């Protein structure tokens, strides 16, 4: 049967007013879905792409999860912070600019005001725009459940398309990003057919620290070119500590492209995506290092 968008399936809807209540329900062993902005979840339910939950848990009753703050140099983004608030946050723009660039590139204002950064990550599609930026920022995710909590590095969080390390009774409460030296610069390139309101065919984030003409630190994050968002670690290794020069950048870009494993789909061919990884990694590093 061909299924179009349908009315929502039937489920119980609960909007907990405290985290205790939330974790209580989550630990109840029912089939639950956590609902933040719903911009990924609701279309999936309407399209019957996922099994309808018994209980839909709306996080929006937990106002305490809506924050963006700095604590001892560390940036903390609560699970209810919208994409728009992250994109336009003064702290983020000044100290973690690449994340603001990534957030701004998502969809358009309506979705940005509804969807959350944490939702973008938990949905775990390879093309999630905030992921490459969070990867190069070495973000950590604070994860909680009824009687416990853990911290997971973002590069260990994704395990496949739509799959993360989260257990059924856990949620991500916060994204945490340690201070980035103020001399670091970053670029997020999103390649898409349209200028706005489009999904990434390829996403490339590069964060660069340079010192005396050398790459003191370099981190490359890639989106939409592998089963999960990834870091191009081998390319980074090639550059780290080396003198900044064009040839090396070209080689690193080629290696980054080798590290990607895109597929052919209706959005683009694997061939094009691989070439674009090379092109955009090179372009980003050249622009950041001002190498011609």
The answer to whether residues 121 and 81 touch, using CB atoms and an 8 Å cutoff, is no
* Least CB distance to ligand FAD at residue 127 (A): 6
Beta strands in the chain (DSSP E): 12-14, 32-35, 55-58, 68-71, 74-78, 140-145, 148-153, 158-160, 163-164, 171-177, 185-191, 202-211, 214-223, 230-231
Distance between start and end Cα atoms, the chain: 55
CB atoms under 10 Å from CB of 251, counted, come to: 15
* Least CB distance to other proteins at residue 276 (A): 6
Beta-carbon contacts of 28 under 8 Å, excluding residues fewer than 6 positions away, are none
Among 116, 201, 228, 257, binds ligand FAD (CB under 6 A): 116
Q: Which is nearer to other proteins, 196 or 243 (CB)?
A: 196
User: Residue 240's binding partner, choosing from ligand FAD, other proteins, none, with beta-carbon cut-off 5 to 8 A by kind?
Assistant: none
CA–CA distance, 222 with 148 (Å, rounded to integer): 32
* Least CB distance to other proteins at residue 7 (A): 5
Residue 82 DSSP class: B
CA distances from 255 to 139, 224, 242, 251 (A): 24, 17, 16, 6
Query: Interface mask (CB under 6 A) for ligand FAD, residues 125-154, using x and -?
Result: ---xx-------------------------
Q: Which residues bind other proteins (CB under 8 A)?
A: 1-2, 4-7, 108, 191, 193-199, 265-269, 271-272, 275-276, 279-280, 283
User: Residue 2's binding partner, choosing from ligand FAD, other proteins, none, with beta-carbon cut-off 5 to 8 A by kind?
Assistant: other proteins
Residue 212 DSSP class: T
User: Residue 119's binding partner, choosing from other proteins, ligand FAD, none, with beta-carbon cut-off 5 to 8 A by kind?
Assistant: ligand FAD
How many CA atoms lie within 13 Å of 247's alpha carbon, on the beta-carbon side? Answer: 1
* Least CB distance to other proteins at residue 201 (A): 8
Residue 85 engages ligand FAD in binding (rule: CB under 6 A): no
Query: Interface mask (CB under 6 A) for ligand FAD, residues 10-49, using x and -?
Result: -----------------------xxxxxxxxx-x------
Q: Which is nearer to ligand FAD, 70 or 111 (CB)?
A: 111
Considering only residues 154 to 173 of the shown chain, the ones binding ligand FAD according to CB under 6 A are 166, 171-172
Among 122, 225, 252, 253, binds ligand FAD (CB under 6 A): 122
The answer to whether residues 252 and 281 touch, using CB atoms and an 8 Å cutoff, is yes
Q: Which is nearer to other proteins, 183 or 271 (CB)?
A: 271
Dihedral sign (CA 244, 247, 250, 254): negative
Residues in contact with ligand FAD by the rule CB under 6 A = 33-41, 43, 79, 83, 106-107, 111, 115-116, 118-120, 122-123, 128-129, 166, 171-172, 199
């Amino acid at each position: 049967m061909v299924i179009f968008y349908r009315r929502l399936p039937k489920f119980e809807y609960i909007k907990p007013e405290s985290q205790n209540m939330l974790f209580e329900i989550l630990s109840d062993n029912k089939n639950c879905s956590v609902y933040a902005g719903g911009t990924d979840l609701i279309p999936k339910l309407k399209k019957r792409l996922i099994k309808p939950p018994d209980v839909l848990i709306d996080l929006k009753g937990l106002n305490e999860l809506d924050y963006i703050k700095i604590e001892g140099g560390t940036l903390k983004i609560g699970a209810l912070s919208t994409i728009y608030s992250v994109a336009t946050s003064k702290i983020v723009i000044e100290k973690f600019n690449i994340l603001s660039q990534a957030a701004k590139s998502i969809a358009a204002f309506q979705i940005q005001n509804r969807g959350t950064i944490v939702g973008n990550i938990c949905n775990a599609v390879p093309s999630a725009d905030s992921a490459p930026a969070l990867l190069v920022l070495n973000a950590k995710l604070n994860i909680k459940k009824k009687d416990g909590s853990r911290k997971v590095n973002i590069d260990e969080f994704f395990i496949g398309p739509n799959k993360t390390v989260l257990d059924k009774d856990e949620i991500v409460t916060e994204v945490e990003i340690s201070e980035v030296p103020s001399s670091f610069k970053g670029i997020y390139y999103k390649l898409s057919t349209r200028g706005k309101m489009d999904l990434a065919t390829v996403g490339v984030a590069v964060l660069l620290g340079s010192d005396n003409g050398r790459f003191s630190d370099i981190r490359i994050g890639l989106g939409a070119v592998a089963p999960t968002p990834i870091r191009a670690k081998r390319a980074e290794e090639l550059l780290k500590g080396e003198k900044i020069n064009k040839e090396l950048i070209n080689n690193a870009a080629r290696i980054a492209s080798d590290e990607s494993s895109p597929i052919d789909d209706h959005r683009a061919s694997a061939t094009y995506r691989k070439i674009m990884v090379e092109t955009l990694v090179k372009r980003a590093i050249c622009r950041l290092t001002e190498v011609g």
